[in-house]
A and B are shown apart, each in its own frame.
Chain A
């Protein structure tokens, strides 16, 4: 916890909420740079809340990396990596890092690994994504995240399906 957070004490979270509201307002106006500035300030004000990290990561992975916003697959992959970088940054600061790691695994295994190869062209394809998701889940389990077994079982099932399809 930084000195500003200590000074603000219990209102640091409220101040972060104000910054998140300004983030949404800036996004609505199309002022992306300003929006990311507000998000960064909000995250540094209240870095212990997982919700903030999830919000920014969601924006990168599902909005900025959307084919509607970014037709170039390489640029889309870059935005997705930025989203995962945000989640990793959050793992180092949030009070529930396991939740963030499990979320990263869920996105990789249930969303990205399902996308057609020609749309995203992730290096290594679905198998690489499932392997990354497995690593994320192991990290989530080490932090005591719940329901990791369910996600692991899903990944194993998907890997078997891919093997059966010869992929």
Chain B
């Protein structure tokens, strides 16, 4: 692999001003604005808001950084092949390097640049917005880092009338001593009361709660159990909100408060966009190629959502879930093999598109 060309492509895919811009946007989203502390301290019930403010800021920082980086990565990646055809064919095309090698090297440089954006966002959002070394503040108490162990339940919502009970079995080992289990519920029409109360039970732990809006019923079993149940003990109807309303969370060993895992999700998302934009940029103008790459990603997300497969798209539901986990002070799940395969597929597509466009370019370069 041609290292100077790889470095050049990486710099072009992630130029310093663009990295600085993404870092700046992330920083602006993370930084604690003056006055916020006074606002949240109007109530003692805001202790949770103060404690989780940094997690929320980190999530916002990631979101803002990813949005800006997605556009920049697509645009800069699409510009790389455009330069081949504009003014670099004269020297690049006659170096004797194979077409595949040129494409492969440039693509590797672009993916390195895309990863650079992820690192920059992670450094700013992870270091300032949360993570294990973040300052906790006066009101904070360190909480154990959790990650999602399993999701279960019916695919559709179900209604519990007063006195009725819903039980969900979970896989062996999903509920242990250090696990938290929660069920998504909401009050519903159909019974006497407008709101209701619910009891959640798992192993020897029981918790009761008034349900006046959509909320989570959560319990921390002190020993292993195979099931969790919720009973409507109020006068109103209770909806168990599908799809898959039961979540089990276990202690996580993720490093960096889960920010490293989130960086992995973001990296795959940016690689997906960059590779597509690179491939399309070999066939059309960089602006159109970048826009088309973003549009294709959006269309894929909508299409996959309609068939409930949105979790396999880099930057899709898995990234949204990872951001939600960070905002709750929990760790995202590691990157799945399906996500990696999807990103690898996009890289292969980008390579094939760019490689096939170079046949004409090489012949023209040699004849000139």
- Give the interface of A toward B (CB within 8 A): 2-5, 7-8, 27-31, 33-34, 36-41, 43-45, 47, 66, 68-71, 78, 82, 85-86, 89, 93
Contacts and interface: CB of A to CB of B under 8 A. Distances in A.
A40 B36 CA distance: 6
12 contacts: A2-B35, A3-B34, A4-B33, A27-B213, A34-B327, A36-B40, A36-B49, A44-B34, A66-B212, A71-B210, A82-B43, A86-B39
Contacts of B213: 27, 30, 69
Nearest to B36: A44
Contacts of B43: 78, 82, 85
B28 A8 contact: yes
A25 to B, nearest CB: 11
Contacts of A69: 195, 210, 212-213
Interface string B213-226: 11110000000000
Contact of B212 (A7, A28, A68): A68
B211 to A, nearest CB: 9
B53 A37 contact: yes
A79 to B, nearest CB: 8
Contact of A41 (B38, B45, B60): B60
B28 A40 contact: no
A8 B27 CA distance: 12
Nearest to A57: B42
A5 B33 contact: yes
Contacts of B215: 30
Nearest to B328: A34
A69 B186 CA distance: 12
B31 interface: yes
A47 B46 contact: no
Q: How large is the interface on B (under 10, 10 to 19, 20 to 34, 35 or more residues)?
A: 20 to 34
Contacts of A78: 43
Nearest to B193: A68
A43 B35 contact: yes
A120 to B, nearest CB: 17
B49 A37 contact: yes
A55 to B, nearest CB: 13
A3 B36 CA distance: 13
Contacts of B53: 37, 40
A83 to B, nearest CB: 9
B48 interface: yes
Contact of A89 (B39, B184, B186): B39
Most buried by B among A8, A40, A69: A40
A106 B328 CA distance: 37
Closest CB pairs A-B (n = 9)? A44-B33, A30-B214, A2-B34, A30-B215, A69-B212, A85-B42, A44-B36, A37-B56, A44-B35
Contacts of B295: none
Contacts of A40: 36, 39-40, 49, 53
Contacts of A30: 184, 186, 213-216
B40 to A, nearest CB: 5
Nearest to A7: B28
B338 to A, nearest CB: 26
A30 B328 CA distance: 13
A44 B56 CA distance: 15
Contacts of B194: 68
Contacts of A27: 213
Nearest to A29: B214
B56 A38 contact: yes
Contacts of A7: 28
B276 to A, nearest CB: 27
B52 interface: yes
Nearest to A11: B28
Contacts of A47: 35
A28 B35 contact: no
Nearest to A43: B39
Contacts of A2: 33-35
A163 to B, nearest CB: 35
A2 B45 CA distance: 26
A4 B30 CA distance: 10
A89 B43 CA distance: 12
